[in-house]
Structure formats: structure tokens, C-alpha cells
Structure 1
């Protein structure tokens, strides 16, 4: 819409670059072109504003296919007014000189013309097409037919209108029919999904079976290795027992031999000691047999004195001396023989004790 302002009885019009303005003054064309700006008087001016930009026209209509099914079509037609002078002459694009608004509705007339023309060609195509074909190839067929129909329509060039592009958005059946048509595809998709599920389950079962077989094989192999381990442990235990028994036998044999050797050595030592003692006793007896009896008596007395306990004092009463003298006088000969034997016995004991003192580390006190 043009921008019109008032100044001192005059009007000033300023149009957009996408608007073609025609100014007639007293029946003559004063201004003609897009994006004009000029002064005019409202009483003598006739103004027309024609949009020359591309415009989108949305078309929605219902049609019936060859199998008597109702479908809804949605399309968009892009057009523009290529001949503003022709369009202003065929349609009322005049504007109010005070407000700049259109006095009529020329764009609605163009929309009605384009809608009815496009709808007519689309209905013609869909009426000879089945529902399934319309849903599959209907969009391209309807777009091509509308484009050709609008290009061949004589009223559009005569009105100065040029169709730029035609787009068919969708062709849809009724909701119930659409759900019914979707059912086979959904069933097929569901069957495919079920088959995929079954295949996945089969694969899962197969994998589980393989895993179970692997686990069983692992257990069998583990049991076989445990059996080998037990056998090897038994073999090792037997071998260890045999080695231990052999070692114990060798040790016992060595200990027995050692014991026998020790016993033999002790026996030989005892025999040697006995022989030495016997030899010493024989020598002692031979020596004492050749000595004078008086000497033997003296040695016996000396030995006896050595073995008697210590006597600090001796008290002799007359009775004791009388009896002692009587005994000494009556048994003089017997005492002399016994004295010699006592001396010899004392000398033999002294010789044996002397040897024991040498072997044991000292003489008896």
C-alpha cells in the first residue's frame, strides 16, 4: 500500500519498489512506474497501484479418484503480474487518494482465477486415476497437469499474470482409508520386526548354546587336568615315600653299622682293659709273693693306717690291756700267718687302686 501524506491541500505519494503506480491527471497518464514519489491533487488524480513482486497462493481442494475415493490435495502456485498496465486495465487496482488503500479486491480475483483453473486441471487428472496410483504418482502428475494448464490458460496472459512455479504439497485420502491403507504396510513391517526378533532370539540362543558348550568343554578340560594333577601328585608322593624309605634304610643301615662298630670298639676296649688289669694283678701278686713277710706286714699296717679315720686321743683302761695281752699271747702264731696274708692283700689292693688312680685321674684319699 502506498504511503500518502497531505501538505497544504496537496498530496504526496511514495510507493514501494515492488509496487507499480499509474497516475492519471484529467484523463492523461502523468506518472507510470515502480517505486514512484510525486505530488498530486486529490480532486484531479486517478491512482492505481499494481504489485509486481512474486506472490504465493495456497490451494487446497478435494477430488474423487476413479475408484470413487475422496482425496485432499494441497498445492502452492507462485505468480507475479508481469504486465502492470494490462492488469490495471483488466482489474480494479485503483487506490484511495487520501488513504492509499485499494478500493476493490483485485488480488482476491486473481486468487480465485488461479485456484479454479488449477483445481479444474487437478480434478481432471485425479478423476481418471485410481487411489493407489494417485497416492504413488499423483503428486507429479497433478503438478505437471496444473503447470501445463495454467500455461495454456488464455486469461492469464490477457490479464498480465505470469505463473512462476507450481508445487503440489500432498495428496491424502480420508483418515479411515489412510489407516486402512497403512495396515498392510504396518503388518508387513511388524512381520519384518517379528522375523528380526526371532532371528535375534535364534542368534542369542545359538550364542548361549555355544557359550554353554565352551563352558562345558572348559570344565571337562579342567577336570582332565585336575585328574592329571592328582595322578602326578600321587606319583610324586610315591616317589617321595620311596626316596624317604630308601634314605631311612640307608640311614638305619649306617646307624646299625656305626652301633656295631662302637660295640666292637667298646668290647675290644673292655677286653684290653681286662687283660691289662689281669696282667697288672698278676704282676702285683708276683711282686708281693717275692717280698719278705715283714715287709708285707709293714705295708699292710701302713695301708691300714692310711685308711683308718683320724683319732685325736685313745684311752686304754687296765681291763682292756689285760684282755688284749691275753689274746695276743694265745694267738701269736695264727696272727703272724694272718698278718702276712693281710699284708699281701693290702699290697694288692694298693696296686689296683694305684692303677685306677692313674686311669681315673687320681688316687682314693
Structure 2
């Protein structure tokens, strides 16, 4: 931004790197260019500063399509002042006494470019339908406005160069836009619902597969359990049969052993009986020729072997006399009987 320092009867101007200054004194150009610094008399000087950097001009306007639909066009125009002297001579970029330039020049440029953009865009949109404007309007308007503004004689003669035009949006009214968005939204919602249904179907299919796998596993486990029970029953039955066979064999062996033992015992008893009988017979045969006293003595001896032990024996005179008397009588009696 240029600065002006005022002194009595004279002032000093210091320009900026983006401002092209034109110093006119009594109608003649005394100084011009970028970044100028000079002294001047305010009473006889006119200063104009034209920006030489790129300028951005956003614009927004409405147009009517062929099917009587209102659309809004949002665009941005980039331009530059390539001939600052011509611009300063045709537009108001004069510096005030305080220093900064007036805004009249920029407002004039904004009005000129905005009206040109609106005029060409309205003419073009009036030949298209709403669907065509929304589908191809951005690219067509960008090319159209770039060519029209670049070739406009007023801008060229003024020293304004159009660097580029960007059409940002072509939009219908809000109600129409919502109505146009409804089918797409419905389609997107339908796609979303379809995706949800497919996801649910996949989940159900997976659950069914899992259930079938679990059921198959349970059936397999039940079958294996059945085989296990059958095998255990067969094993138990076989074990019982083996135990029964073993018991039978043991019982037979025990019976045979007992039979053998009984036979042996019977044979032993028989042999012992026969031996006892033979001994008794032999004894009786031996006793047959003995006298009564001898037999009595043997009987007493046999009985004495069966009696309990006698610690002390008291022989009285009566007992002794009786036994002696019997002994004395026995021989006599034996003799008498012999006779």
C-alpha cells in the first residue's frame, strides 16, 4: 500500500511493489511505475494507483432454464490489469489526500465483469433444460465465460486481462434440489437396505451352517457313544463269560479235587478199617486161647491206658485183701472148673 507524507506546500509519495502509480502534473505524466518514490505538489498533482497483482472476483447470480426452472450460478473470475495507464485513464483509481486509493475503480470492474458473466450465462442457460444445466452446466459455462470475457472488447480496451474463470456450482432451488435428490437417496437407501438384508442373510446362513455343524458333531458324538456303549457291553459280556468259564473250570477243579480227596479219604478209611478189623481179628484170634485172668489183666491194662493220670493212689487193707482174695480164689475156681 502506498504512503503519502505531507509537508508544507509539498508531499512525498512512497509506492508499493504491487501498485502501479501514475503521477499527472498539469495533465502531463511526470512519474509512473511500480515502487515509485518522489516529491510532488498536491495543489498541481493527480495520483492514481492501479493494483498489478492478480485479482479475484467471486460472483453469484440466478438464471432461468428452458423448462422455467430457476438455477443459481456461483463463479469466480481471476483477472489482472495489464495496462495500468489505460486503466487509470478510464477507471477511478485516484489516491485521496489521506493516501489510500478510492474503491470506485474496483467497484466499476466488479460491476462490468459481473454483468458480462451474468449476461452470457443467462443466455446460455436459457437454451438448456434443468437436467442439462445440472449435468453439463459447470464445464459449458466455464468454457463459455472464459472465451467471452477474454474476447470482450471493453475489457481489452480498458487493459483488463482475464486469467481464468471457475464455475463452482450450478444449483436449482432448494425444493427442486431436494426433489431431485429424493430418487438418488431412495436408491442409496435401497442399496443400504439390500446390503443390510444380504448381511443378515449371510449371517443367517452362517448360523445355519454352524447349527448344522453342531448337529453333525452331536450326531457323530452320539454314534461314537453308541459304539462305545456297545463295545463296553461286549467287553463286559465277554468278561462275564470269561469269569464264568474260569469259575466253572475252578469249580470243576475243586469238585475233582474234592472227589479225589473224598476217594482218597474213603480208601484210607477203608484201609484203616480193614487194618483195624484185621488187627481186631488177629487180637481176637490171639485172645481166643487165653485164660480169664490173662484176659482180665489185659483189659485192666487197656483201661489203664484210657484213664486219666493218677497222682497218688491209696491202697487200703480192705482193697488189698479183697484183690488178694480174688486172686487166690481164681486159681482154685479155675482148677475146679477144669476138673
* TM-score calculated relative to the size of structure 2: 0.83
Task: Return 5+ residue gaps in structure 2 as ranges.
Answer: none
Q: 1:314 to 1:269 in 2, by over 3 A?
A: closer
- 1:1-365 to 2 correspondences below 5 Å: 1-6=1-6, 10-96=10-96, 98-103=97-102, 105-281=104-280, 309-311=310-312, 313-314=314-315, 316=317, 320=318, 324=322, 328=326, 332-333=330-331
Moved more, 64-73 or 203-212: 203-212
- Write the distance in 1 (CA, Å) between the matches of 2:127 and 2:32: 48
Superposed displacement of residue 58, structure 1? 0.5
Quote the residue 1:347 is aligned against.
none
Moved more, 185-194 or 142-151: 185-194
The residue matched to 1:89 in structure 2 has which SS? helix
Give deviations 1:315-338, integer Å, cap 9, x for gaps.
54xxx589948964995359879x
Superposed displacement of residue 148, structure 1? 1.3
Q: 1:8 to 1:276 in 2, by over 3 A?
A: farther
- Write the distance in 2 (CA, Å) between the matches of 1:236 and 1:163: 104
Superposed displacement of residue 139, structure 1? 0.8
- Write the distance in 2 (CA, Å) between the matches of 1:137 and 1:116: 22
- Write the distance in 2 (CA, Å) between the matches of 1:276 and 1:234: 60
- Write the distance in 2 (CA, Å) between the matches of 1:315 and 1:301: 19
Quote the residue 1:341 is aligned against.
none
Superposed displacement of residue 60, structure 1? 0.3
Asked if structure 2 preserves the Cα contact closer than 8 Å seen for 1:65 and 1:127, the reply is yes
Task: Return 5+ residue gaps in structure 1 as ranges.
Answer: 338-365
Q: 1:170 to 1:179 in 2, by over 3 A?
A: same
Q: 1:134 to 1:334 in 2, by over 3 A?
A: farther
The residue matched to 1:185 in structure 2 has which SS? helix
The residue matched to 1:99 in structure 2 has which SS? coil
- Write the distance in 1 (CA, Å) between the matches of 2:332 and 2:109: 192
Asked if structure 2 preserves the Cα contact closer than 8 Å seen for 1:56 and 1:76, the reply is yes
Q: 1:334 to 1:184 in 2, by over 3 A?
A: farther
- Write the distance in 2 (CA, Å) between the matches of 1:329 and 1:259: 56
- Write the distance in 1 (CA, Å) between the matches of 2:222 and 2:300: 98
The residue matched to 1:230 in structure 2 has which SS? helix
Q: 1:11 to 1:283 in 2, by over 3 A?
A: farther
* TM-score calculated relative to the size of structure 1: 0.78
- Write the distance in 1 (CA, Å) between the matches of 2:26 and 2:262: 170
